[in-house]
Every structure is written in structure tokens, then in C-alpha cells.
Amino acid sequence: MGGGPDRPGLISAPEGLNSAPEAASETVRRPAIVVAGPTGSGKSALASAIAREFAGVVINADSMQVYRELRILTARPGDAELAQAPHLLYGVLPASERCSAGRWRGMAEAAAAEAGDRLPVFAGGTGLYLRALTLGLSEIPAVPAAIAEAGKALLAERGPSGLHAELAHFDPVMAGRLAPSDSQRLYRAWTVYQATGRSLAEWQAAPPTGGWPSLVFALTPPRPALYAACDARFERMMEQGAMEEAASFLALGLDPSLPAMRAVGLRELGEVMAGRQDLPSAVAAAQQATRRYAKRQMTWIRHQVPEAKLIEAQFSERILPEIFNIIRRFLLTTSV
């Protein structure tokens, strides 16, 4: 495991504020703690422990845990965790809605304000949400409702590949960046161009604004331990009623392009219900999908969150004293 100035062999990476532009926003924000990490790394437990120690509040930064109907398949904190510290932005939106990084950032601002003097402890593994928090967002104009509805209709009529082909006619840059199956991002690129006459790539290239002063920890366990945790995690989900939850959710008949429809394990369990897969094979496939997702999260964190202090281990209480000391120094030396 990597070493660092705090204690060799446990935590490494720069300490202190993120690298957001100094004049990013006029809003004064309390310094925050961010706990990132892949699925199965224990970031929820770490965030809860930090919130308990520092009179904080845990604020969800996971794109799937915002949806109300998917409690088990998204591994939302259970009753025991919720009783240990206040938790906000968990299960707050219906799955029929779309939550983007920009929408989530607005909700995060409101949640932190609602928390008052409590220390905000953001926990999640959604890369775009974390960057929206620590660095801020490019100022992309809102899409009018009429264009948003037109985009949904086009997506329903022609499917993701058809929308990709349509986008390629007037925005080849974004079409080249997006997979023909990525319905959510294709929809976003199409609607932004229709609303502004400019490629989403141009808007995203503008310097972000609104970075939040934060100390970022990232759990990055060794791969064998992480993969074992991912497998065990899905087995627990099955014991908790994941199949029943998936059946109830799919019975809603939601638009397949909605973000919530991409919850890991949902497709595999749906195959069982449709008679196209036996249960053991579906569980194995869902576990593999979970491992692949965790791998992508690990790669993203290592390459896109250079300011994070890497904790190269699974969460355990033995790492808490060092983490608490780092946080105390951060809070003592950081002012709003």
C-alpha cells in the first residue's frame, strides 16, 4: 500500500483543499469532507463514522441511491446506519425522474443548508457528482421543457442508436465521444444543442465554477479484497429481497432510458423473471457486473481525483484514528 506523510503504508496523496478555482462562486460554504470509493469498499460506513465523530451529516453523492424505489439494489444505508447519524438525499426522487450532476449539485447545496452547523460529509462513488461538488460545474443553460419533451419522444421513437445518428448530423464531436447505446448522455447532448445551438462539448470546455472547499478521502482496496466484497454484497442483496424489489420495480413499466433502469443487477434479475436465465447464472452475472463497475470506479478515482487522499484498504475501524486526525487538522486550518 502507498505511503504518505501522515503514516507510511495507509493514506497517501495531497492533504488540504481541492483545486477548485479561488473565485469559483460567491456562495460561502462550510468546508466539507468527501468519502469516495468503488462499490463494496465501505465508504458508507466510513462516512457514517466521520459524521458521528464530528457532529456531521452524511449527504448522498451516489447517482442511484437518490431513487426511492431501489433501496436494496442500490445498497442504501440501512436502519442501523441511519440511526447513527443524519443522512440526507437518500431515496428522495422517484425513479421516473432523471437526476443529472447539475440537479444533484443543487440538491446538495440545499441539503448542506438544511444541515445548518453540522459538518457536511458527502459519500458516493459517482464520479461526475464528485467533480461537480469539488470543482464545480460549467455554466450550461437550462433546456426548455418543450425541447426536453421532444428529445424524449425522439429517443422513444428511434432508440439510442437512432438518436446517436441524429446527433452525428449536427454535433459530430459529441457523437464521437458517446456510445450509440448511451441513451442518457445522448439525450443530454441532443437537447443542449437544440436549446443553445452549441455543442455540449463547447459548454463543458468552459472553466467550472462553484468548487466546494473539501478534504477528499478515497477508499481504494486491493482488487482481490474488493471483488470478494462485491460478490458478498450481491449475495446479501438477494437475502434481503432484491428479486422482489426488482420485480416490483420492473412492473412499473418505466422508460428504459431512465438512469434508474441501469441499476447494477436489475437487468440480470429481469432476465430470470422473463424466463431467459436461471437464478444462479443471473446472480453470477450480476456479481460480475458489480465487479466491473467497481473496477471502472477505481480507475476513475485514481485518474480524475488527484486531490484525494487514497486509503488503500477496505474500511475498518483501525483506520479511523488517523483519518480523524487528518480531518481535525483540516478543519483547524480551513476557514470559510
Do 174 and 265 sit in the same domain of this protein? no
Q: Among 20-34, 78-92, 132-146, 175-189, where is mean pLDDT lowest?
A: 20-34
Average pLDDT, rounded, for the chain: 87
Q: How far apart are CA 319 and CA 228, in angstroms?
A: 20
Contact 39, 288 (CB under 8 A): no
Take residue 183 and report the three cell numbers written for it.
441513451
For the segment 222-251, what is each residue's pLDDT rounded down to a tens digit? 999 999 999 999 999 999 999 999 999 999
Take residue 276 and report the three cell numbers written for it.
431467459
Do 34 and 170 sit in the same domain of this protein? no
Take residue 193 and report the three cell numbers written for it.
444543442
Final residue in a domain of this structure, among 170, 187, 205:
205
The CATH number of the domain holding residue 187 is 1.10.20.140
Q: Among 69-78, 99-108, 130-139, 166-175, where is mean pLDDT lowest?
A: 130-139
Does residue 99 register a pLDDT over 80?
A: yes
For the segment 4-43, what is each residue's pLDDT rounded down to a tens digit? 333 334 565 444 334 333 333 344 578 999 999 999 999 9
Q: What percent of the chain has pLDDT over 70?
A: 90
Structure confidence at residue 336 (pLDDT): 53
Does residue 212 register a pLDDT over 90?
A: no
Phi, psi torsion values for 251, nearest 5 degrees: -65, -15
Do 219 and 295 sit in the same domain of this protein? yes
Q: Is residue 88 part of a domain?
A: yes
Q: What is the mean pLDDT of residues 148-176?
A: 91
288, containing H or E segment: helix 279-304
pTM for this prediction = 0.79
What are the beta bridge partners of residue 119? 56
Structure confidence at residue 147 (pLDDT): 93
Structure confidence at residue 335 (pLDDT): 59
Amino acid, single-letter form, for residue 242: A
Contact 73, 87 (CB under 8 A): no
Final residue in a domain of this structure, among 181, 205, 229:
205
Buried b (16+ CB within 10 A) or exposed e, 13-51: bebbbbebeeebbeeebbbbbbbbbbbbbbbbbbbbbbb
Q: Residue 55: left if φ>0, alpha if ψ -120 to 50, beta else—which one?
A: left
Do 92 and 24 sit in the same domain of this protein? yes
Do 28 and 163 sit in the same domain of this protein? no
Spatial CA neighbour of 138 closest among 204, 229, 43, 89: 204
Q: What is the DSSP letter of 137?
A: E
Q: What is the mean pLDDT of residues 136-163?
A: 87
Residue, of 152 and 30, whose pLDDT is higher: 152
Q: For cell 488517523, name the residue.
A: 322
Residue 309: give the domain boundaries. 11-138+208-333
Structure confidence at residue 206 (pLDDT): 75
The CATH number of the domain holding residue 296 is 3.40.50.300
Do 65 and 83 sit in the same domain of this protein? yes
Do 106 and 218 sit in the same domain of this protein? yes
Q: Is residue 1 part of a domain?
A: no
87, containing H or E segment: strand 87-88
Amino acid, single-letter form, for residue 156: A
Burial class from Cβ neighbours inside 10 Å (0-12, 13-18, 19+) for residue 323 reads buried
Does residue 1 register a pLDDT over 60?
A: no
Q: Could you tell me where the beta strands, DSSP code E, fall in 183-326?
A: 209-210, 214-219, 309-311
Q: Is residue 6 part of a domain?
A: no
Do 263 and 168 sit in the same domain of this protein? no
Q: How far apart are CA 135 and CA 101, in angstroms?
A: 12
Q: For cell 464521437, name the residue.
A: 176
Q: How far apart are CA 125 and CA 128, in angstroms?
A: 9
Do 227 and 103 sit in the same domain of this protein? yes
Final residue in a domain of this structure, among 205, 233, 253:
205
Do 201 and 258 sit in the same domain of this protein? no
Q: Is residue 252 part of a domain?
A: yes
Q: Who contacts 101 (Cβ-Cβ below 8 Å, separation ≥6)?
A: 126, 128, 129, 131, 132, 137
Q: Is residue 54 part of a domain?
A: yes
Residue, of 204 and 43, whose pLDDT is higher: 43
Structure confidence at residue 322 (pLDDT): 94
Q: How far apart are CA 71 and CA 78, in angstroms?
A: 9
Do 130 and 151 sit in the same domain of this protein? no
Structure confidence at residue 131 (pLDDT): 87
Q: What is the mean pLDDT of residues 243-269?
A: 95
Q: Is residue 259 part of a domain?
A: yes
Q: How far apart are CA 336 and CA 334, in angstroms?
A: 7
Amino acid, single-letter form, for residue 190: W
Does residue 57 register a pLDDT over 80?
A: yes
Q: Is residue 166 part of a domain?
A: yes
Q: How far apart are CA 41 and CA 229, in angstroms?
A: 7
Q: Is residue 3 part of a domain?
A: no
Do 134 and 238 sit in the same domain of this protein? yes
Number of domains in the chain: 2
Q: What is the mean pLDDT of residues 148-173?
A: 91
For the segment 278-326, what is each residue's pLDDT rounded down to a tens digit? 999 999 999 999 999 999 999 988 888 878 898 988 898 899 999 999 9
